[in-house]
Structure 1
């Protein structure tokens, strides 16, 4: 039970900790000054939403996200969100592909090498099946979480960054809602695809509580670090660079590898949500859907990483607020 719960937790963190989150861009875009209460609220809301989605997935033994949408919104509204989720998953995967190219550029390699590298990596993992994807997440995500936690704690210690939240200044507390809402669609898409693999309620609680706490703690550390830097200079498109800039080349290379791992795991998770839904409709082999989808996505990756993040994430954060409310009230509504 514990091992299965942790495996699901790594799948969730893999879906959330993509290029936008791991690079710091997404955190800085939503939080910043006066966000201590917002981060606490995000942790609570994320845990509640994860628990609700997992319980619905478990009860329905789902293999894609559509049955979950039907439970939450009814079939008419679910049809609208079905297309919204497909477009979102497509766009986020494109963002991750562009992020892979941008990461390769930062170490002096051609942008398209990064595109080709992630393209091949995704085909390899999907050719081995969903079980192998879960196993890979179980290996890669602990590495990413430990590396990100270590570098943030090291920076906070070296630069004497204050972690004390100013409870008199909680002007940005409402950011918790669009930020949580933004991360709901990949949660529904990914967890809907593995509902038939969940074995017990204990597994659900281990998954939701551990994923909520990990994301909440790292978000607090990251936001505090970015606030410290942002007070002195303008942050670059990938704020993580400003944090690791003063460390040696070994740290730089390790964090670039970790950033690429975050990109890869998110691309795999969002692609999983998309292709399992398409597979339900057209009954094609998953690997065939993956290859066709990737060939369609690659040309769009030329738009650029920071531009895609700046446009898509706030937009979907607002559009998903309806689903967020439904997830919060679902346990109460379902009992009555």
Structure 2
């Protein structure tokens, strides 16, 4: 009688897919991506809505396709390779020298993105609550620093539960704004060329590529580390796919909601609060809390990513570096206006991320060719982990 386990590829998982773990992974991904830029609406306004229909639907479709690929790729490679340091993901795709460039560049960008989160929290406190932005930015830094202190496993448990809730609320607000829009989607699209709305790039294609590019630099180390906790390739793919689809759908719906109210949100720092206030002041107060929660869920893994690059998670040096980085990021984030930080930090780094995307696609294509040429059976059979 043939032993069935003897013919299974080495490393193949026999564990069943856990819906709870898939949802947790998807929630962590969504929560990471929903930072101050998305939660406030500033990011969606600049990258999607500012280009009208093409920006929302064209960019939305392109972002969905590329983001799905990127998230699943990072997740699966992290699950298979289990790198000692998450930053080794850059060397895997780019080689020794270029990989080192992306490694250090991404750390700088991730740190500056944390500063953007601080600026976003400060803007919410100043614009909605009438309080000093220093109070908002400082409070965020304290809460985020305390969360990162306890390490990655605790982070996934925390942000994985908050992320899906924020997406549901954002989609609901987007739908209400579409229905109640003061301009309407068609009129908003016609009015757009005559309004002063900051754009992320010269056209919607470059905007979408830049958007995926900066998200990649955020996600690389975090998803590689998160992938190590996945029990199987199937679990990693399912969690990554669900996260990418939910986030892209939210971008499209919120983008349409902003377009339907374009004359009201153009030139504002916190467009989502403008939409909520137009519906109900009470709702606006609730949305302000959602925005702060969204900023928190992204700021936490951003700060963790920088600290973990230099010191092992949950060690004294890791914790002390977290405190120092939180202080420095807060100082930077409170010196520059929020909308300017989004436009400069995200866009510039997005173009660098496009190069990483190209190198990833080349690596994936090369890997696929090698897998096709490799014998499928016998002693020389390659496992999925070997081929990665």
Q: Same fold (TM over 0.5)?
A: yes
Partner of 1:18: 35
Give the match's secondary structure for 1:193.
helix
Answer yes or no: is the 8 Å Cα contact 1:68–1:188 preserved in 2. yes
Q: Please state whether the residue corresponding to 1:197 is helix, strand or coil.
A: coil
Name which of 287, 297, 300 aligns with 1:255: 287
Partner of 2:4: none
Could you tell me how far 1:123 is from its partner in structure 2? 2.7
- Is structure 2 residue 248 aligned with structure 1 residue 216? yes
Q: Distance in 1 between matches of 2:264 and 2:27?
A: 35
Query: Is contact 1:11–1:269 with CA below 8 Å preserved after alignment?
Result: no
2:158 is matched with 136
Q: Which residue of 2 aligns with 1:205?
A: 237
Alpha-carbon distance in structure 2 between the residues aligned to 1:289 and 1:172: 39
Higher RCO (CA < 8 A, seq sep 6+): 1
- Distance apart, 1:43 and its partner CA: 0.2
**Cα separation, 1, equivalents of 2:159 and 2:264:** 37
Provide the rounded CA distance (Å) in 1 between the counterparts of 2:338 and 2:263: 24
CA contact (8 A) 2:28 2:159 kept: yes
Question: Would the aligned equivalents of 1:60 and 1:195 in 2 still touch at CA under 8 Å?
Answer: no
How far apart are residue 329 of structure 1 and its match?
3.5
Q: 8 Å contact 1:5–1:204 — kept in the other structure?
A: yes
Write the distance in 1 (CA, Å) between the matches of 2:142 and 2:327.
11
Matched, 1:301 2:333: yes
Asked if the contact 2:86–2:225 (Cα under 8 Å) also holds between the matched residues in 1, the reply is yes
Distance 2:267 2:70 in 1: 31
Please identify, of 60-69 and 19-28, the stretch whose mean Cα deviation from structure 2 is larger: 60-69
CA contact (8 A) 1:62 1:194 kept: no
> Which residue in 1 is equivalent to 2:362?
329
Inter-CA distance 64–7: structure 2 relative to 1 (3 Å threshold): farther
Is structure 2 residue 155 aligned with structure 1 residue 155? no
Mapping for residues 8-157 of structure 1, pairs under 5 Å = 8-31=25-48, 32-33=51-52, 34-35=54-55, 36-62=57-83, 64-105=85-126, 106-157=128-179
**Match in the other structure for 2:350:** 317
Partner Cα separation in structure 1 for residue 84 and residue 146 of structure 2? 21
Q: Aligned in 2, Cα 1:275/1:193: closer, same or farther, shift over 3 Å? A: farther
After superposition, the Cα gap between the structure-2 partners of 1:122 and 1:231, relative to the gap in structure 1 and judged at 3 Å, is closer
Tell me what 1:229 maps to: 261
Do 1:235 and 1:242's aligned partners in 2 also have CA atoms closer than 8 Å? no
SS at match of 1:214: helix
Gaps of 5+ in 2: 1-17, 190-202, 370-388
Aligned-CA RMSD value: 2.1
TM superposition score normalised by structure 2: 0.79
In 1, Cα distance between equivalents of 2:304 and 2:149: 12
* SS, match of residue 291 in structure 1: helix
Report whether the alignment pairs 1:183 with 2:250: no
C-alpha contact (below 8 Å) 2:30/2:163 kept by paired residues: yes
